[in-house]
Amino acid sequence: MKICRRETFNAAHRLFRENWSDEKNLEIFGKCSNPNYHGHNYVLEVYVEGTIDPETGYVIDLKILKELIHEYVLDRFDHRNLNLDCAEFKNINPTTENISKVIWEILREKLDSKFGLEVVLSETDKNKVIFNGK
Ligand code: NI
């Protein structure tokens, strides 16, 4: 059984490779390579997989999951410039793929290993990435 906590955050980014020209960056990354950065309203869904605890009736207390996400993910990325403010993206492009992987790694470390974990991240309502460790 999987349960899900949905959160949202806003962040700015730029997708680019320093060793590529502005033209090539534009060709590969489109508007996301805009040199002056731009923002997205990210939607983050965190799925926790486990069994129902017979004492509580919960897989995991959603309040605990909410607090984990707020403390370790939202406080870190919300209203930030991912390229400039977040060391995680100093050397990797803050694509939805890479952001979801970073978030998964942060939460995996905080979550009891008895639970499965899957992170679903949307940069727009049309694009979505799912990461569960692979
Ligand atoms: Ni973008």
CATH classification of the domain holding 43: 3.30.479.10
pLDDT for the residue numbered 58: 97
Domain carrying residue 61: 2-10+39-131
**Contacts of range 82-87, beta carbons closer than 8 Å, 24 or more positions apart:** 82/11, 82/12, 82/13, 83/12, 83/13, 83/14, 83/37
Instruction: Report how far ligand 1's centroid is from the alpha carbon of 34 (Å).
Output: 8
Q: What is the mean pLDDT of residues 58-68?
A: 97
Instruction: Report how far ligand 1's centroid is from the alpha carbon of 38 (Å).
Output: 6
Is 33 contained in some domain? no
Is 44 contained in some domain? yes
Neighbours of 120 (CB within 10 A): 17
User: Which residues participate in catalysis according to the annotation?
Assistant: 32, 79, 123
- When divided into structural domains, the chain yields a total of 1
**Confidence band, pLDDT 50/70/90 cuts, at residue 16:** very high
Instruction: Report how far ligand 1's centroid is from the alpha carbon of 69 (Å).
Output: 22
List helix spans (H) across 19-95. Answer: 22-29, 62-69, 75-77, 82-85
Pair 5, 65: CB distance under 8 Å: yes
Instruction: Report how far ligand 1's centroid is from the alpha carbon of 24 (Å).
Output: 16
Is 114 contained in some domain? yes
pLDDT for the residue numbered 84: 96
Q: Return the minimum-mean-pLDDT range out of 17-21, 70-74, 119-123.
A: 17-21
Instruction: Report how far ligand 1's centroid is from the alpha carbon of 2 (Å).
Output: 30
Q: What is the mean pLDDT of residues 21-40?
A: 93
Structure confidence by residue, pLDDT tens digits, 75-132: 999 999 999 999 999 999 999 999 999 999 999 999 999 999 999 999 999 999 999 9
Q: What is the mean pLDDT of residues 34-39?
A: 93
Q: What token pair was written down for 25?
A: 């960056």
Amino acid at 16: F
Is 43 contained in some domain? yes
